[in-house]
Chain A
Amino acid sequence: MTDTAPNAEAFVMAVLLTLLAAITIAIVRQRNMFGVVILAGIYSFLMAAVMMALDAVDVAMTEASVGAGVSTVLLLATLHLTGSMEYPQNRSVAIPAFVTIVVGAMLIWGTSGLPEYGAADSPMNTHVAPTYIEYSKNYEMPPNIVTAVLADFRAFDTLGETAVVFTAGIGVLMLLQGGWRTGSSGRREEEDDDPEAADDDNNAGGTSA
Chain B
Amino acid sequence: MRLDLILRVGAKLILPFILLFALYVQFHGDYGPGGGFQAGVIAAGMVILYALIFGVRAAKHIAPPSVVEMMVPLGVLIFSGTGVVSILLGYNYLDYTGFHYDFLHAHEWGILIVELGVLVTVSSTMIVMFYAFVERGRR
Which residues in A have their C-beta under 8 angstroms from that of B72? 166, 169-170, 173
CB neighbors of B among A49-84 (8 A): 57-58, 61-62, 65-66, 69-70, 73-74, 77-78, 80-81
Asked if A144 is at the interface of the complex by the 8 Å CB criterion, the answer is yes
- How many chain A residues touch B (CB < 8 A): the figure is 43
Q: In the complex the two chains form, is A58's CB within 8 Å of B94's CB?
A: no
Among the listed B32, B44, B94, B126, which residue makes an inter-chain contact with A144, where contact means beta carbons less than 8 Å apart?
B32
Cα–Cα, bound, A66→B32 (Å) = 19
Q: How far is the CB of A9 from chain B (nearest CB, A)?
A: 19
Q: In the complex the two chains form, is A177's CB within 8 Å of B132's CB?
A: yes
Which residues in B have their C-beta under 8 angstroms from that of A144? 29-33
Q: How far is the CB of A69 from chain B (nearest CB, A)?
A: 5
Among the listed A65, A158, A165, which residue makes an inter-chain contact with B114, where contact means beta carbons less than 8 Å apart?
A158
Which residues in B have their C-beta under 8 angstroms from that of A21? none
Q: In the complex the two chains form, is A141's CB within 8 Å of B104's CB?
A: yes
Cα–Cα, bound, A202→B18 (Å) = 36
| Given A80-B137, A155-B114: A143 touches B31 (CB 8 Å cut-off) | yes
Which residues in A have their C-beta under 8 angstroms from that of B135? 176-177
- Name B's interface SS: helix
Q: How far is the CB of A172 from chain B (nearest CB, A)?
A: 5
Asked if A156 is at the interface of the complex by the 8 Å CB criterion, the answer is yes
Which residues in A have their C-beta under 8 angstroms from that of B114? 151, 155, 158-159
Asked if A150 is at the interface of the complex by the 8 Å CB criterion, the answer is yes
Q: In the complex the two chains form, is B33's CB within 8 Å of A78's CB?
A: no
Q: In the complex the two chains form, is A69's CB within 8 Å of B45's CB?
A: yes
Which residues in B have their C-beta under 8 angstroms from that of A196? none
Asked if A180 is at the interface of the complex by the 8 Å CB criterion, the answer is yes
Q: Given known contacts A58-B38, A147-B115, A173-B128, what 9 new A-B pairs fall within 8 Å (CB)?
A: A61-B42, A81-B137, A141-B107, A146-B33, A147-B35, A159-B114, A165-B121, A169-B128, A172-B128
Q: Which residues of B contact A (CB under 8 A)?
A: 25, 29-38, 41-42, 44-45, 48, 52, 69, 72-73, 75-76, 79-80, 83, 93-94, 96, 103-104, 107-108, 110-111, 114-115, 117-118, 121-122, 124-126, 128-130, 132-137, 139
Q: Which 10 A-B pairs have the closest CB atoms?
A: A169-B125, A142-B30, A57-B33, A77-B133, A176-B132, A155-B94, A65-B41, A151-B111, A61-B38, A80-B137
